[in-house]
Chains A and B, each alone.
Chain A
């Protein structure tokens, strides 16, 4: 039996609370200066008590995490609509339990696995990661998950398993965004086997110590913090080991703008906008954008995966 972690990393860092308070005071001051009464509270830190049992994992940043509100109301999850608040508005009725994942391809233990079979044998870890969207905004998110590599090893991938392909649930009834062909449904993402096995890569089941909200990709989603957010496929129902590089949804939609690797890279611009800087969600309206870091600041951990690869061509 796992022991419940008493202190979570975001509880140790009171900096975020301090920041939130400071922003509140600033907002209140501005409102008073403008002769108005402010009833609005800034994004609150919630979920001090989570429902998941977890231990502290490695690689956590000590940057202050974003508020529960920002993380759970500002989402790109096109299956529930293309506006940022659509997932929050449209995903509340989504049934994320019971949940089955089909494992197939180049491995010795394919099959249909229940959510409990997938997660049960592992210890959940808290990992506070930076999250950089291809749209040039970023957050810091206290995820709860398991290292993807530990999970994949249980399916005994064979030597032909060079890539891993993931698929999101296709259910237009529950996912209204899938009723329009904005992307080719179901959503498909992929990683090289080395990326999938990297200890930074997470299969996420929660945020802020709580079960993952539907709008964040319940019940299972991928997180690769050195890649743009769209690689983090949500509501996963299929994992396939393949010998060939999978065609991913955004690549199919626009291969000139979105590549298979999608590594965060301030030197390679999106054809329509710069990737050199990012807007940190939750920063003040008058705060500057911050410089984007190579591999989103995880270069030390992942740069060797891409040794000899032309990152301009393999974007």
Chain B
């Protein structure tokens, strides 16, 4: 894939990722009969949250999809997808804090401390912040190997996010269960790949008598 086509695809993907925001904006202003329904604030919070989770899962799907269908250039778009996950989750928090609680700090603190599903949601967002801040090329260079370690945190963040969704549902857990299932598949894929690499590596050791683990310990 040429540099130019990557750039064009990136621009197209950027616009695509903005579509949910565009639709929500039209609904907020009631353009062309669109609306957020009778309880617009709750709807807005839920929709931002769900798009944040969607983007987290899409980001986590990049590596497996690249492996399975061999599209190496997919990796070029992963950072943007991850940043959109952060953006939508930040909007999720801001609509909650601003529109729902009107930035009433004591009330928000009480929520975060006393309501476990909000505690874990807030934790996930705070953990996501350093990942977003270190997503620039220069930060990647500066952090080197530690960058990768830091960004593995996204697994924890996704688990916390899905738990947060599951926990706040009143009774019908079907939808968060679907999210949990998809996340489990994406994480299991990584475990399986890692396990197979380790096994292959240990066979190599016995066969060749020298350590090739370092070589096989690439990112999965």
Binding site for B on A (CB under 8 A): 27, 30-31, 34, 36-40, 42-43, 69-70, 73-74, 78, 82, 84-85, 135, 137, 180, 182-183, 253-254, 272-274, 279, 281-282, 285-286, 288-289
Contacts and interface: CB of A to CB of B under 8 A. Distances in A.
Interface in B70-115: 99-100, 102, 110-111, 115
B34 to A, nearest CB: 7
Contact of A180 (B39, B100, B116, B174): B174
A84 B171 contact: no
Nearest to B27: A40
B39 A34 contact: no
Contacts of B174: 180
Given A74-B37, A272-B117, A272-B168, A38 B30 contact: yes
B171 A272 contact: no
Task: Pick the most buried of B37, B167, B174: most chain A CB atoms within 10 A of its CB.
Answer: B37
Given A84-B38, A282-B38, 19 more contacts: A31-B30, A31-B31, A38-B31, A40-B32, A40-B33, A40-B34, A40-B35, A74-B38, A82-B171, A135-B170, A137-B39, A253-B171, A272-B115, A272-B117, A273-B115, A281-B39, A285-B40, A285-B41, A285-B99
Contact of A182 (B39, B102, B171): B171
A314 B220 CA distance: 53
B39 to A, nearest CB: 6
A153 B93 CA distance: 52
B211 interface: no
A273 B99 CA distance: 17
A27 to B, nearest CB: 6
Interface in B1-34: 26, 28-34
A23 B171 CA distance: 33
Given A182-B171, A272-B115, A272-B117, A27 B37 contact: no
Contact of A281 (B31, B33, B38): B38
Interface in B134-180: 167-168, 170-172, 174
12 contacts: A31-B31, A36-B26, A36-B29, A39-B31, A40-B30, A69-B38, A78-B172, A182-B172, A253-B171, A272-B116, A279-B39, A288-B102
Contact of B42 (A36, A39, A40, A137): A137
B98 to A, nearest CB: 10
Interface string B39-53: 111100000000000
A38 B115 CA distance: 39
B31 A73 contact: no
Nearest to B32: A39
A28 to B, nearest CB: 9
A43 B33 CA distance: 11
